[in-house]
């Protein structure tokens, strides 16, 4: 997923007045929802100038997926734990914060997974697409980039390809690199690689078409996951950026997603 980033406020008129609020099913988010709706009102997301999302990063990703292809930006207020995609929760001055916020337009990855029974499943992912072994047996996977074989056999627990925004999530936990939004790069990261043991992955251009072919699929079944959607018993998975879909995310001034990615690289 590459990104179009703005360093100036996303809106050049007055503060937005038509807000839609959505909240995760947690006590903290629900309490915040009641307080914000009582102060600022509420409308349907399709009629709003901004959708305000209360929750954590997981619920934010669900909201972003639901708002893809709609010309309505999403602004997150952290009512979860990590909140990498969120802004600090504060019910005061919300409309002015929204007016001054900065935007990032995100494009998802598109996964096309073919299963052993011949069925085909297509999903988009704003965070990452990863493959993972379904049993105690390690997976064996061939990797082709732009229809050219690059690795004939990777023996591993799995492998993932992340968006720049998602590079700080599972990708980072698997010791993959953090990628700036403006880099137009996709990190390809193995998960517990056994052979080649020292292969740490690759950085691919955002235009790359990546194909994973499952070897010994009967003995070593593999599942594919696009964000929260899991497809089991895959035999081939192709991943590439989907430039035809997008969603706009808003961040407080001086706290853009690019800034957060830089900060994350210097944190303990």
Cα distance between residue 152 and residue 7, in whole Å: 43
Same domain, 90 and 41: yes
* Residue pLDDT, tens place only, 5-41: 555 566 667 789 899 999 999 999 999 999 999 999 9
- Look at residues 259, 210, 240, 205 and name the one whose alpha carbon lies nearest to residue 125: 240
Using CB atoms within 10 Å of the CB of residue 157, give its burial: 0 to 12 exposed, 13 to 18 middle, 19+ buried: middle
Same domain, 13 and 126: no
Same domain, 113 and 234: yes
Name the token pair of 208: 């790359």
Q: Which residues line the annotated binding site?
A: 57-58, 127-128, 157, 165, 168-173
Same domain, 71 and 90: yes
Same domain, 139 and 90: no
Report the pLDDT averaged over residues 192-219. 95
pLDDT at 3: 52
Supply the mean pLDDT for the chain: 90
**Percent of the chain predicted with pLDDT > 90:** 70
Same domain, 164 and 125: yes
Q: Assess whether pLDDT exceeds 70 at residue 202.
A: yes
pLDDT at 98: 94
pLDDT at 160: 97
Q: Assess whether pLDDT exceeds 70 at residue 1.
A: no
pLDDT at 15: 85
Same domain, 24 and 114: no
pLDDT at 94: 96
Residue corresponding to tokens 């690795």: 151
* Residue pLDDT, tens place only, 128-172: 999 999 999 999 999 999 999 999 999 999 999 999 888 888 998
CATH code, 99: 3.40.50.10330
Same domain, 81 and 117: no
With residue 173 as reference, give the H or E element that holds it: helix 170-173
Cα distance between residue 183 and residue 3, in whole Å: 9
CATH code, 218: 2.60.200.30
pLDDT at 10: 66
Q: Which residues line the annotated binding site for NAD(+)?
A: 57-58, 127-128, 157, 165, 168-173
Same domain, 149 and 193: yes
Residues serving a catalytic function are 57
Same domain, 230 and 124: yes
* Domains identified in the chain, total number: 2
Cα distance between residue 164 and residue 167, in whole Å: 5
Q: Assess whether pLDDT exceeds 50 at residue 110.
A: yes
Residue 104's pLDDT band, with cuts at 50, 70 and 90, is: confident
Question: What's the domain range around 161?
Answer: 109-241
* Residue pLDDT, tens place only, 237-263: 999 999 999 999 999 987 776 777 777
CB 225 within 8 A of CB 130: yes
pLDDT at 168: 80
Edge-to-edge strands, sheet with 109-115: 120-125, 109-115, 234-241, 210-215, 139-145, 148-156
* Residue pLDDT, tens place only, 54-97: 999 889 888 998 999 888 999 999 998 777 788 999 999 999 99
Of residues 115 and 71, the one with the higher pLDDT is 115
CB 234 within 8 A of CB 214: yes
In DSSP terms, 224 is beta-bridged to 131, 231
- Look at residues 68, 54, 201, 212 and name the one whose alpha carbon lies nearest to residue 133: 212
Cα distance between residue 176 and residue 183, in whole Å: 15
């Amino acid at each position: 997923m590459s990104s179009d980033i703005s360093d100036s406020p996303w809106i050049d008129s007055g503060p937005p007045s038509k807000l839609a609020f959505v909240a995760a099913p947690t006590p903290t988010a629900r309490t915040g929802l009641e307080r914000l709706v009582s102060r600022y009102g509420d409308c349907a997301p399709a009629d709003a100038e901004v959708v305000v999302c209360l929750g954590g990063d997981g619920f934010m990703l669900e909201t972003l997926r639901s708002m893809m292809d709609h010309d309505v930006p999403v602004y997150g207020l952290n009512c979860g734990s990590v909140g990498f995609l969120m802004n600090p929760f504060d019910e005061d001055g919300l409309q002015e914060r929204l007016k001054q916020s900065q935007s990032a337009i995100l494009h998802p990855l598109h996964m096309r997974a073919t299963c052993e029974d011949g069925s085909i499943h297509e999903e988009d992912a704003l965070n990452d697409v990863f493959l993972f072994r379904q049993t105690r047996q390690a997976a064996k996977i061939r990797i082709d980039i732009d229809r050219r074989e690059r690795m004939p056999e990777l023996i591993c627990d799995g492998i993932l390809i992340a968006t720049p925004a998602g590079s700080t999530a599972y990708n980072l936990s698997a010791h993959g690199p953090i990628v700036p939004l403006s880099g137009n790069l996709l990190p390809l990261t193995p998960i517990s690689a056994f052979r080649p043991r020292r292969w740490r992955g690759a950085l691919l251009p955002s235009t790359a078409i990546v194909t994973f072919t499952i070897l010994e699929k009967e003995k070593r079944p593999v599942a594919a996951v696009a964000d929260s959607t899991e497809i089991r018993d895959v035999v081939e998975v192709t991943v590439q950026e989907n430039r035809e879909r997008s969603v706009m995310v808003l961040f407080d001034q001086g706290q853009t997603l690019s800034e957060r990615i830089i900060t994350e690289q210097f944190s303990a």
